[in-house]
Structure 1
Amino acid sequence: MKKTLLALAVLGSFVGAASAQSSVTLSGSVDLGFKKANGVKGIDSPGSGRNAFTLSGVEDLGNGTSAIFLLNHRFSTDTGAINVAGNTTGTSPQYFWRNAWVGLRNSAAGEVRLGRILMPLQDMNGGYESFNGGDTVGNVHTGGGKATVRATNAVYYKSPSLGGLVVHLATAEADGQITQECGTCAPGAERPVGAAVAYGAGPLSVGLAYDKNGAEHKTVGLYAKYNFGVALVNVQYEKGDVSATAEQKRASISAGIPVGAATVKVGYRKQGADGTNKSDNKLGLGVDYALSKRTTVYADMGKSSGDSLSAAAEKTQYDLGIWHKF
């Protein structure tokens, strides 16, 4: 009996040590509501980014080094189907399509990721827009233009914070890229390349990013936000190639204004002509109301105008829904 108790005690100590050194986390969110946009209305999700789950893990290897991984999957809450927008190779959906990578992290040297990865410019720009990175009809997200969205067979380096400064570098194999994800390039054309520098201190955050997609279209983005207390103001500016002979400029300014449990959102986006499409602009308004730290109800409207838009796209858009994070 004593030997059994001793064995259980020893085993328990190993289990405790192992659980302290490694972990796997499930996180994500679910969002659904009523939406009227582009002449269609009904129950719908505001955007694929709000209907997703992520498995991430870390194992402490000692000496400040950890093994890390991340798998992210998106779905459509209204139907339960896999979200396949920009998510196929031929006709086959990619289940963990937004990010699927493994890597090593060192407290002094930074981290290296290998796999399918959101590239630096697209990884950065969603954090500088008050409508949660472009998911609701009110969003004024500049979108990155032709910049690579996610690269397959990629290598991504992220430096440790150097007094608030963080450097991101990434490249990937030329072949195996998905057409929609590499800026409508022909897969196998050229290696996508990306870089970014971000700085954050107190209420200020700024970022500068560069991307060259598989068709050798180049995009530069400049981003900033400042928390004034009464409002968090975001600014985005992007200039990039949209063809071999034309480029386009896109800019937005938006703000989130806290009012008790609510946050009032307002924003404006301007998109210039690109040599083929004519210019357009958009006004977004909305409000989020926090029922708890994880559950938010929201309402948004967006109004766009411009020579590049259809009559349906110029009509005022609305959404009303509930967003739960876990």
Structure 2
Amino acid sequence: VTLDETRYVTLEDKVHLPLLQITYPTVYGRHEDEAPLDVLADILGGGKTSLFYKNLVKEGMAVQAVVSHPCRELACEFQLLALANPAKITSLSTLQNVLNETLKEFETRGVTADDLARTKGQIEARTVFGLQSVSGKVSALAANETFYQTPDLIAEDIARYNAVTAEDVMRVYNKYIKDANSVVLSVVPKGQVQLAAAKQTFERPVRNIEIDTVDVSDDEAFSSALSTNTAPSFDRSVMPKAGEAPVVEVPDYWESELANGIEILGVTSTETPTVTLTLGMDGGMLLDPEGKAGTAYLTALLMNETTKHYSNEELASELAKLGS
């Protein structure tokens, strides 16, 4: 799918913050360029180490900035999305300029080895963590069977993402994003069309769907279905008796102790190649100082922001490489 020109669309809605979404048509699911485009999206807008976070969120231009490459039944789209901060942005055209400058910055900077390591780690981690529930397993198997007639494509997916190179990412950027036409959607509060990135240039055609009515009064099959007695074979007003209490199977656990005296209680599961750590300590609301409620909670939140050896962005980058 290609666009002959960039189309501007404005949508007025009951919202408080204006939103800008730029969408580029790309490929289809499992196309050879799908994986590089996914990696490109994560490099541009994935987490606190991305260029979009640095230039938009950290600078206060946007409340939220996201880059994604979703693939649906027929095709994929490369989406740039930014939720404007009205304290700094008076028009979505300003936000669009920042987005374009960020793309140019990426074009000049290129793809680093750190970008690839972080992005591949995150993509593999999301895939593996998605298999920890029955719902995740069923969804992956069913989707692959439905669209590609091969349910067990999960290992192949991880392999094709790990095979993406920096050259692949720059190639798809130049082919599908750089100087390409797009659909620019401005979502603005009702009555504030002036906030849009540009005047609307595209009107969505009105769908006129004709409804054909069919007389089924003489249809024997239809009449038979209506007259069929579907009464239940039991009395629904009577509470059924409870069955036997289920026996909960508690997993085997092991115990150990670190050199510094910290006791370890562990359970081994081979369902997915993941590790979950939970550190238990005396604390919480019961030990908050009087008059300083929330101290423990605030301390825990701050541990996600920065440490003695890592800044906010460095901490996020290292965790992403670990697949955390």
- Class of the TM-score when normalised by the shorter of the 2 chains: under 0.3
**Structure with the larger RCO, 1 or 2 (CA within 8 Å, 6+ apart):** 2
**Largest Rg, 1 or 2:** 2
Give the TM-score taking structure 1 as reference length: 0.20
* TM-score of the superposed pair, with normalisation by structure 2: 0.20
